[in-house]
């Protein structure tokens, strides 16, 4: 199949979270299976132009009532030979941030930037003379692809092109003032007709969900949860209406990047059969974070965007968060890394200065993320909701037992400890409250000191888990097949 991935993020070019990992890994697996997969991304300042070649000639893109001009650069996805095309438009993408900056967290012109990007994807195909069987869009930034395919790109070139929209996170919908609508270059009757209308504002994701041939999300449990009010983010009704077109496909783990036996970012490598390298990683982690070096103390690690979704309020909220009592009451160490909300970054610094067994590192570092995954004994991920979650899967593969809320992809990838039989791969809480996180972490620490045999067996079981992108890719190919079926449209 010819597949064009239209995404605002893909590793190693542009990343704010797991979306970037998922798009690249899925593309590689599809390419390995013999499909002609290509990617299109915006060229942000973070993308190194020197490593790319220019595709000759300008790219004219209809915008609003007029036209904008861009150029196209071409690179290759590492680990395979899939072409990656970058839409180079200085005014829209000549910035450091993908969606915003520290001072303007959501750029006001995002509706223009990303509607331009969606239309540019079609113009790119014309320029290349290459027409995909499927255009696969991801989250709100590329959600207008299915809308344009349905209402403006109706000519013979795209006649055989169907659209799939994957929801990586329903919490971000691209909602902007109604006054943004004219930028999209669509007639006003489509404000309602294409599903843009959302409490008298424009909702880009909602329009995409209305118009795509098929919808998917990144775990089976999340696919069910988003059809109910609690996690449906006000779109549960629409998703219920389209439930026959919605599937949940679990993300995988990219073993080229996340394999403790070969991980070049670690000070030592290890396998389930020989965990001595893991002990070395734990020492390195304790040293690097300024925690007392002690192999006998359980280390709870955390790598996260510091935002409400991830449970940082319940953990670190001043006065009510459970991390401080946890560190005071129990014989453990807590190593946190991440960046995000200002209040949380400040609170983490304050906790680090007050508690000898709590240390935080604020910032973004691939190397440290790998060290925390490898060097910790437990991994804290009590997300309020989690479409899939990659970090808990990385943890399992690194023999680091996750402490998770039973939600979304966390529920699909971790199985709860049973202290009678010793079965399970992690520790789960049913209600996401500070108290439950405290109790569940306490339970893990109890098992560490009192049931070491169980911990060893759980580690082995966790490291043997397979989260295969090739399996996910096969499910996506089946989904593309359904999308192409005119009866399904």
Would you tell me which residues interact with ligand ADP (CB under 6 A)?
17-19, 21, 303-305, 337-339, 364-366, 369, 388-391
Q: Which is nearer to ligand GLC, 18 or 375 (CB)?
A: 18
Cα end-to-end span (Å), the chain: 19
* Binding letters toward ligand GLC, positions 169-208, x by CB under 6 A: x---------------------------------------
| Cα–Cα distance for residue pair 315/301, rounded to 1 Å | 13
Q: Which of 4, 19, 337, 380 binds ligand GLC (CB under 6 A)?
A: 19
Nearer to ligand GLC, 203 or 216 (CB): 216
CA dihedral 9→15→16→21, nearest 10 degrees, is 80
Lookup: tokens for 270: 């290890």
What is the size of the binding site for ligand GLC (CB under 6 A)?
14
Q: Residues with Cβ < 8 Å from 391, sequence gap 6 or more? A: 303, 304, 373, 379, 381
For the CA atoms of 54, 55, 61, 67, the dihedral, rounded to the nearest 10 degrees, stands at: 60
Binding segment (CB under 6 A) for ligand GLC, from list 177-185, 282-290, 349-357, 388-396: 388-396
Q: Which is nearer to ligand GLC, 22 or 300 (CB)?
A: 22
Q: Is position 25 an interface residue for ligand GLC (rule: CB under 6 A)?
A: no
Structure token pair of residue 242: 């389209």
SS3 call for 295? coil
Considering only residues 216 through 255, tell me which ones interact with ligand GLC, judged by CB under 6 A.
Answer: 218, 251
Contacting residue, 213, 377, 386, 412, with ligand GLC by CB under 6 A: 386
Nearest of 89, 123, 214 to residue 164 by alpha carbon: 214
Min CB(423)–ligand ADP separation in Å: 25
Q: How far is the CB of 374 from ligand ADP (least distance, A)?
A: 12
338 binds, among ligand ADP, ligand GLC, none (CB under 5 to 8 A by kind): ligand ADP
DSSP assignments along 145-203, one per residue = HHHHHHHT--SGGGTT-EEEEEES-TT---EE-GGGGGGGT--THHHHHTT-EETTEEE
Question: Is 388 an interacting residue with respect to ligand GLC (CB under 6 A)?
Answer: yes
Task: Say whether residue 390 binds ligand GLC (CB under 6 A).
Answer: yes
Instruction: Return the range that interacts with ligand GLC (CB under 6 A); candidates 13-21, 286-294, 399-407, 445-453.
Output: 13-21
Closest approach, Cβ 191 to ligand GLC, in A, equals: 28
Among ligand GLC, ligand ADP, none, partner that 402 touches (CB below 5 to 8 angstroms by kind): none
Query: Least distance to ligand ADP from the beta carbon of 407, Å?
Result: 13
3 binds, among ligand GLC, ligand ADP, none (CB under 5 to 8 A by kind): none
Residue with smaller CB distance to ligand GLC, 162 or 251: 251
Contact range with ligand GLC by CB under 6 A, out of 18-26, 51-59, 125-133, 317-325: 18-26
d(CA 298, CA 444): 9
Say if residues 168 and 139 touch (Cβ distance below 8 Å).
yes
Question: Does residue 401 contact residue 444 with C-beta atoms inside 8 Å?
Answer: yes
Distance CA 213, CA 149 (A): 10
42 SS3 class: strand
Pick the closer one to ligand GLC by CB: 30 or 63.
30
The Cβ-side half-sphere exposure at 309, using a 13 Å CA radius, reads: 16
- Give the whole-angstrom CA distance, residue 351 versus residue 323: 9
Decide: is 18 part of the binding site for ligand GLC (CB under 6 A): yes
Euclidean distance between CA atoms 163 and 146, whole angstroms: 6
| CB 256 to ligand ADP: min, Å | 13
By C-beta, is 169 or 376 nearer to ligand GLC? Answer: 169
C-beta of 72: minimal distance to ligand ADP in Å? 28
Q: 22 or 98, CB closer to ligand GLC?
A: 22
**Which does residue 218 touch among ligand GLC, ligand ADP, none (CB within 5 to 8 A, set by kind)?**
ligand GLC
> Is 414 a binder of ligand GLC (CB under 6 A)?
no
- How far is 11 from 177, CA to CA, in rounded Å? 31
What whole-number distance in Å separates Cα of residue 32 and Cα of residue 185?
38
Nearer to ligand GLC among residue 17 and residue 79 (C-beta): 17
Nearest Cα neighbor of 193 from 209, 210, 181 is: 210
Q: Does residue 384 bind ligand GLC (CB under 6 A)?
A: no
Residue from the set 1, 2, 17, 422 that interacts with ligand GLC by CB under 6 A: 17
For residue 317, report the phi and psi dihedrals to the nearest 5 degrees.
Answer: -55, 130
- Please state, in angstroms and rounded to a whole number, the distance separating the CA atoms of residues 36 and 47: 23
Q: Does 168 bind ligand GLC (CB under 6 A)?
A: yes
* Closest residue by beta carbon to ligand ADP: 18
Taking CB under 6 A as the rule, does residue 479 contact ligand GLC? no
Q: How far apart are CA 47 and CA 352, in angstroms?
A: 34
Q: Can you give the binding site for ligand GLC, defined by CB under 6 A?
A: 17-19, 22, 168-169, 218, 251, 386-390, 409
């Amino acid at each position: 199949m010819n597949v064009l991935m239209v995404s605002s993020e893909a590793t190693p070019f542009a990343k704010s979270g797991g979306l970037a990992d998922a798009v690249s890994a899925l593309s590689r697996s599809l390419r390995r299976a013999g499909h002609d997969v290509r990617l299109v991304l915006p060229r942000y300042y973070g993308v190194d132009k020197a490593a790319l070649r220019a595709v000759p000639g300008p790219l004219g893109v209809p915008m609003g009532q007029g036209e904008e001009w861009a150029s196209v650069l071409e690179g290759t996805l590492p680990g395979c030979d899939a072409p990656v095309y970058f839409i180079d438009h200085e005014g829209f993408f000549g910035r450091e941030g993908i969606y915003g900056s520290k001072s303007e967290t959501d750029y006001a012109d995002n509706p223009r930037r990303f509607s331009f990007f969606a239309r540019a994807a079609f113009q790119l195909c014309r320029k290349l003379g290459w027409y995909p069987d499927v255009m696969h869009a991801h989250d709100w930034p590329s959600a207008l692809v299915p809308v344009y395919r349905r209402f403006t790109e109706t000519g013979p070139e795209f006649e055989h092109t169907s659209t799939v929209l994957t929801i990586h996170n329903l919490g971000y919908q691209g909602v902007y003032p109604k006054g943004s609508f004219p930028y999209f270059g669509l007639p006003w009757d489509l404000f309602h007709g294409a599903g843009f209308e959302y409490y008298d504002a424009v909702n880009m994701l909602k329009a995409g969900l209305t118009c795509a041939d098929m919808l998917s999300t990144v775990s089976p449990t999340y696919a069910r949860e988003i059809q109910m009010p609690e996690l449906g983010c006000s779109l549960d009704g629409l998703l219920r209406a389209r439930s026959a077109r919605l599937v949940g496909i679990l993300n995988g783990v990219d073993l080229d990047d996340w394999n403790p036996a070969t991980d070049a970012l670690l000070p030592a490598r290890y396998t389930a059969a020989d965990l001595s390298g893991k002990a070395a990683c734990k020492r390195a982690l304790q040293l690097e974070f300024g925690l007392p070096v002690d192999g006998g103390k359980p280390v709870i690690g955390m790598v996260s965007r510091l935002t409400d979704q991830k449970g940082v309020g319940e953990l670190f909220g001043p006065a009510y968060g459970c991390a401080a009592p946890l560190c005071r009451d129990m014989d453990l160490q807590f190593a946190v890394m991440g960046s995000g909300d200002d209040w949380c970054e400040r609170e983490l610094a304050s906790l680090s200065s007050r508690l000898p067994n709590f240390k935080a590192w604020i910032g973004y570092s691939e190397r440290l993320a790998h060290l925390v995954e490898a060097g910790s004994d437990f991994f804290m991920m009590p997300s309020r909701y989690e479409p899939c979650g990659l970090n808990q899967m990385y943890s399992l593969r690194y023999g680091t037992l996750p402490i998770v809320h039973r939600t979304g992809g966390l529920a699909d990838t971790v199985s709860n400890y049973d202290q009678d039989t010793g079965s399970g791969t992690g520790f789960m809480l049913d209600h996401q409250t500070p108290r439950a996180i405290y109790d569940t972490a306490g339970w893990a620490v109890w098992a560490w000191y009192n049931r070491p045999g169980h911990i060893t067996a759980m580690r082995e079981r966790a490291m043997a888990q397979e989260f295969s992108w090739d399996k996910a890719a096969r499910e996506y190919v089946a989904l593309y097949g359904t999308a192409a079926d005119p009866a399904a449209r």
